[in-house]
Amino acid sequence: MPSRFVAGGAWAGWQIVLALVTATYLVPASAQLPRNGRPLRPTVTLPDGPVRQVILRSCTACHGIDEYGYYAMGREDWHALIERMKVTKSGVVEGAMISDADREILLDWLVAEFGPDATPFERQYVLPMLTAEDLLSDAEARALLTRACASCHTPVETVVDTRLDEAEWRRTLVGKIATGTPILLIEVDPLIEWLARARRVNVSN
């Protein structure tokens, strides 16, 4: 059954990575913001029944359920996401705690509401205005690259040496967040700025 949600104004800070977004929409901030100045987000209603308690026990300590509205995935991909959440450090807890029985209850609901036939809400990205406090030192940038990239790209210099312009880096990094890369949205542009400043990989020649 396709998921149903409406645009809402809540900008709940999210610190976990999620999986397999189908599209990333990057436009100037002025073109994205409604009157309240916040990006539009999906609004997902907390379900009744056993899955409600599973969500409250295992999910909402780290993120709101509106996040589900960004995705349209099959059972296998939702299962992989849940398993990834068990080992993801959110900054709030070390990882999701969910029993096998609860996982199956949650999977049934996720696939019914946000399965492959659902229409995912477009993820919006507001270009930030970086200040001096946002700029990464070499040590901070390399620690971020190691955390975010080393599990798939060894050595991480292969990432640093990749020649992309600013827009390409932004699309790539936001897309990587959607596939489980442990980097926060607020870290994307400071990292892009560092790549341009320190390695000049974003300069178009």
Domain ranges across the chain: 6-123, 128-199
Please give the structure tokens belonging to residue 141. Answer: 């940038």
The per-residue pLDDT for 184 is: 81
- pLDDT, one tens digit per residue, over 44-61 is 999 999 999 999 998 888
What is the DSSP secondary structure assignment for residue 93, as one 8-state letter?
S
Classify residue 169 as exposed, middle or buried by CB count within 10 Å of its CB (0-12, 13-18, 19+).
buried
Whose structure tokens read 């990834």?
Answer: 84
**Residue 132 to residues 11, 141, 151, 170, 190: CA-CA distances in angstroms?**
24, 15, 30, 20, 10
The per-residue pLDDT for 200 is: 61
The per-residue pLDDT for 39 is: 63
Query: Does the pTM exceed 0.75?
Result: no
- pLDDT, one tens digit per residue, over 165-191 is 888 898 888 878 766 778 887 889 999
Strand spans (E) along the chain: 6-8, 24-26, 41-43, 123-125
Read off the pLDDT band of 37 (50, 70, 90). Answer: low
- The closest of 78, 4, 86, 95 to 47, measured between CA atoms, is 4
93/77: higher pLDDT: 77
